[in-house]
């Protein structure tokens, strides 16, 4: 997979003085302000500095992109639009000879995103949506947006967005098949985190849950209700196993608390007896 970080690495040497300056500023600022800076994301490349100062549709993408999961993971303008983030001016930065491809056309969008999200792209292309690419089907940005791409969730499947091109019925079938499993994954995650905070060894459970969660979140793009139902049922069965291990942990902990309580009561009783005995002999 070609990641944003790989493509951004060449940008570093040329920006070293800028980085040193930034580091100086960061060290001089109080901790809270530093948190704000870190959240601003990757290095400022020329695309961002120039477009950030443009009005209207040329500048708007910058503010939107800053709020995206991509900005936080080092995926920047040139990762989708091509071009040279080290270019000295607009001509160099947006030179087709340096890979600049401008605004992708509708039918090109899945390939642009699929550069990194290969599995999702393949599922999408094989689905009814992918087959209708260019003839009324949605592309990745219809559902996820182009610049303000955020973490995906079932909230993306809703009546307003999914009834634009067809009835909501079939969208609802998929959502209904996923919503129960989604809830189970979330509550198992919360229980595991709580035990972890208490110091319990939950590493294996955590790994198991992580891979189940990933398996679950790859189901949507096929648009295949039967497959979603079948796989969700399998995942539910795995989750039930995790749940019974969690119940076991909480039983042991309660037991330990009772035993601990008895020990403390015993010690107090002994202290009291000692005190009384001491009094009688004094
Ligand atoms: C010095 C300023 C400057 C720099 C640097 C620059 N751009 Fe641009 N960009 C512009 C201007 C002005 C336009 C509109 C005129 C044109 O197309 O040349 C534009 C157009 C675009 C468009 C097409 C918009 C449309 O509606 O057709 C995209 C996409 C784009 N730039 C992306 C990038 C990327 C990616 C980079 C960095 C690799 C970059 N730009 C660097 C100023 C800049
Ligand atoms: C994750 C991929 C991705 C990233 C990152 C990205 N863009 Fe885009 N951008 C797109 C796509 C896709 C379109 C075409 C959108 C459409 O058809 O809805 C687009 C459209 C544009 C346009 C044309 C907008 C218009 O309304 O005409 C400009 C300008 C632009 N991008 C600039 C940028 C700049 C500057 C950055 C960096 C801050 C950036 N993009 C980052 C995917 C991306
Ligand atoms: C250069 C590689 C790259 C490109 C191109 C790219 N992405 Fe991403 N995308 C990433 C990375 C890296 C993440 C963060 C992964 C993580 O932390 O889980 C991400 C995260 C996402 C997420 C959130 C995933 C989640 O866990 O919920 C969505 C949705 C997404 N991208 C959609 C898109 C769309 C739509 C496009 C095209 C417009 C696109 N991506 C283009 C690399 C890319
Ligand atoms: C019809 C709407 C729709 C289209 C089209 C669509 N997605 Fe999604 N996508 C979703 C929904 C809904 C989810 C959340 C599913 C879940 O929570 O399990 C999602 C989840 C994701 C995720 C996070 C889960 C994972 O498997 O990593 C990524 C990344 C992603 N989509 C990228 C893309 C890309 C790239 C395309 C185009 C090739 C695309 N999506 C097309 C609706 C869509
Ligand atoms: C831009 C238009 C558009 C949007 C928005 C859209 N769809 Fe579709 N959808 C289509 C087209 C076109 C087809 C294929 C032709 C048909 O079956 O109507 C389709 C087919 C489907 C199918 C049927 C697959 C099958 O096997 O029969 C499902 C399920 C579906 N869409 C779910 C969704 C969900 C969920 C959303 C919202 C996240 C959504 N769609 C948003 C255009 C759209």
Distance 34 CA to ligand 3 centre (A): 26
pTM of the model: 0.84
pLDDT in tens, 71-89: 999 999 999 999 999 999 9
Cβ contact 242:209 at 8 Å: yes
Total residues found in the chain within this entry: 282
Beta-carbon neighbour count of residue 215 at 10 Å? 13
Smallest CA-to-CA distance from 144 within 128, 129, 132 is with 129
Residue 12 within any structural domain of the chain: no
Q: If you measure from the C-alpha of residue 264 to the centroid of ligand 3, how many angstroms do you get, rounded to a whole number?
A: 54
50 pocket-lining for ligand 1 (C-beta < 6 Å): yes
* 95, 102 Cβ separation under 8 angstroms: no
Atom 11 of ligand 4: nearest residue by CA position: 156
pLDDT of 24 above 60: no
Binding site membership of 80 for ligand 2 (Cβ less than 6 Å): yes
Q: What is the pLDDT of residue 276?
A: 64
Ligand 5 atom 18: residue of nearest CA: 166
Closest ligand relative to 47 C-alpha: 1
Atom of ligand 3 nearest to the CA of 152: 27
Tell me which residue range forms the domain holding 199. 154-282
Ligand 5 binding pocket mutation candidate from 165, 174, 227 (most atoms within 8 A of CB) = 165
What are the pLDDT digits (tens) for 86-131? 999 999 999 999 999 999 999 999 999 999 999 999 999 999 999 9
Q: In this structure, is residue 112 part of a structural domain?
A: no
Q: Which is nearest to 74 in space by CA: 104, 44, 94?
A: 44
Atom 10 of ligand 3, residue of closest alpha carbon: 70
Count of domains observed in the chain: 1
The three-state DSSP-derived secondary structure of 54-97 is: CCHHHCHHHHHHHCCHHHHCCCCHHHHHCCCCCCCCHHHHCCHH
Tell me, using a 6 A CB cutoff, whether residue 42 lines ligand 4: no
Residue 70: the pLDDT is: 97
Rounded Cα distance between 242 and 79, Å, is 39
- Residue 268 in domain: yes
Residue 156 in contact with ligand 5 by CB distance below 6 A: yes
The answer to whether position 90 is within a domain reads no
223: phi then psi, degrees, rounded to nearest 5: 55, 35
Q: Average pLDDT of the chain?
A: 83
Give the orientation angle of helix 225-281 with respect to helix 169-197, to 10 degrees.
Answer: 20
Would 144 be classed as within a structural domain?
A: no
């Amino acid at each position: 997979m070609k990641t944003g970080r790989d493509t951004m690495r060449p940008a570093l040497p040329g920006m070293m003085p800028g980085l040193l300056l930034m580091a100086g500023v960061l060290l001089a600022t109080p901790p809270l302000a530093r948190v704000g800076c870190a959240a601003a994301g990757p290095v400022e490349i020329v695309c961002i500095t120039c477009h950030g100062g443009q009005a209207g549709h040329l500048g708007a993408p910058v503010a939107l992109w800053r709020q995206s999961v991509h900005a936080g993971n080092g995926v920047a303008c040139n990762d989708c639009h091509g071009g040279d983030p080290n270019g000295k001016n607009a001509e160099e930065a947006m030179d087709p000879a340096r890979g600049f491809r401008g605004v992708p056309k509708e039918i090109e969008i899945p390939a642009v995103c699929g550069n990194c999200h290969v599995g999702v792209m393949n599922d999408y292309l094989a689905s009814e949506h992918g087959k209708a690419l260019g003839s009324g089907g949605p592309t990745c940005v219809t559902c996820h947006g182009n610049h303000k791409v955020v973490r995906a969730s079932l909230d993306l499947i809703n009546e307003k967005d999914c009834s634009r091109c067809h009835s909501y019925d079939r969208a609802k079938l998929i959502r209904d098949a996923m919503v129960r499993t989604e809830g189970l994954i979330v509550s198992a995650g919360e229980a595991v985190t709580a035990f972890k905070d208490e110091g319990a060894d939950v590493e294996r459970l955590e790994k198991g849950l992580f891979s189940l969660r990933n398996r679950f979140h790859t189901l949507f793009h096929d648009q295949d209700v039967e497959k979603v139902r079948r796989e969700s049922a399998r995942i539910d069965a795995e989750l039930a196993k995790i749940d019974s291990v969690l119940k076991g942990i909480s039983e042991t902990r309660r037991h330990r608390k009772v035993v601990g309580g008895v020990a403390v009561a015993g010690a107090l009783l002994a202290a009291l007896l000692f005190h009384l005995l001491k009094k009688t002999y004094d």
